[in-house]
Amino acid sequence: MRTEVAGKVDPRIKYPSYKSFDEFIDVEWLKSLDGYITERIERRLAEQKDTQFYTGPFRLNDQAADRPGSKMVYLSQSTVPDDYYNLDQPKLWEPAAAATEFSELMDFIATLPFKATGRMLIMYDPEGRAVTAHRDHISYDLCHEFIWFRTNLRKPFYLLNEKTGEKQYVESHSAWFDSVNQFHGGDARDGLAFSIRVDGVFSDEFKAHIPVPEYNRASMPSLWACISV
Ligand SMILES: [Fe+2]
């Protein structure tokens, strides 16, 4: 479904934008997990047991692939039927088998500024194909609290303002971004590419630093990014 971004946002917000979380996380620890995660993904590839990533219906271009090639490893699993609107509800998620397999990654995740976690997954593509530009949902008053992060900077990942055509490539190892009022996607790059996304509820102490928009709650990461530079 091709949908125009229609949410009104605080005039201080500019798109594309994202909030780097590198200042809040242990980047050196994250980088040190590169080989560990790569090795385990390669093992899983041989077993071909992971499901395909689906962009959802809100793509920039209707003709672009909604299953562009990435696969997912769920580190947690939902105890109720899959519903995108459950992903930030910790009570509905329990550790999946892969949490044991990726236990060192789970140790790192435990240091992130969450009070509780919900959906946790690794997205990977052995061929590093492009990820179709999309928005995650169109509920402007819903802001998912998540951290997207990666152990290396090889794969180009961008935020896009579809009205101006401007793209902003993420330069950090981690980010929280508005996934509703702007598009996001990835360019192709040869070889295995992966990133991790953890959704949940930020800790109260952490949340105290985050400016809350008066309307269009989904724009919270961009408001923060735009007024903190
Ligand atoms: Fe997405």
Distance 109 CA to ligand 1 centre (A): 20
Supply φ then ψ for residue 103, to 5 degrees: -60, -30
Distance 58 CA to ligand 1 centre (A): 10
Residue 2 confidence (pLDDT):
52
Global pTM value: 0.94
Round to whole Å and give the CA distance between 128 and 219.
Answer: 29
Task: Tell me the three-class secondary structure of the chain, residue by residue.
Answer: CCCCCCCCCCCCCCCCCCEECHHHCCHHHHHHCHHHHHHHHHHHHHHCCCEECCCCCCECCCCCCCCCCCEEEECEEECCCCCHHHCCCHHHEEECCHHHHCHHHHHHHCCCCEEEEEEEEEEEECCCCCEEEECCCCCCCCCCEEEEECCCCCCCEEEECCCCCCEEECCCCEEECCCCCCEEEECCCCCCEEEEEEEEEECHHHHCCCCCCCCCHHHHHHHHHHHCC
Distance 173 CA to ligand 1 centre (A): 17
Is residue 136 in a domain? yes
The domain in which residue 41 lies consists of 19-227
Q: What's the structural domain count of the chain? A: 1
Is residue 10 in a domain? no
Is residue 7 in a domain? no
Across the chain, which has 229 residues, the per-10-residue mean pLDDT values are: 72 97 98 98 89 85 84 95 87 97 98 98 95 94 97 97 96 98 96 97 97 97 94
Distance 121 CA to ligand 1 centre (A): 12
**Would you give the distance in Å from CA 176 to the centre of its chain?**
7
Q: Identify residues whose C-beta is under 5 A from ligand 1, the ion.
A: 136
Distance 182 CA to ligand 1 centre (A): 11
Is residue 68 in a domain? yes
Is the distance from CB of 123 to CB of 74 less than 8 angstroms?
no
Residue with tokens 């997205």: 123
Distance 174 CA to ligand 1 centre (A): 15
Distance 179 CA to ligand 1 centre (A): 7
Is residue 42 in a domain? yes
Is residue 113 in a domain? yes
Please report, for the domain that includes residue 187, its CATH number.
2.60.120.10
Residue 108 confidence (pLDDT):
98
Distance 107 CA to ligand 1 centre (A): 24
Residue 47 confidence (pLDDT):
86
Is residue 12 in a domain? no
Is residue 9 in a domain? no
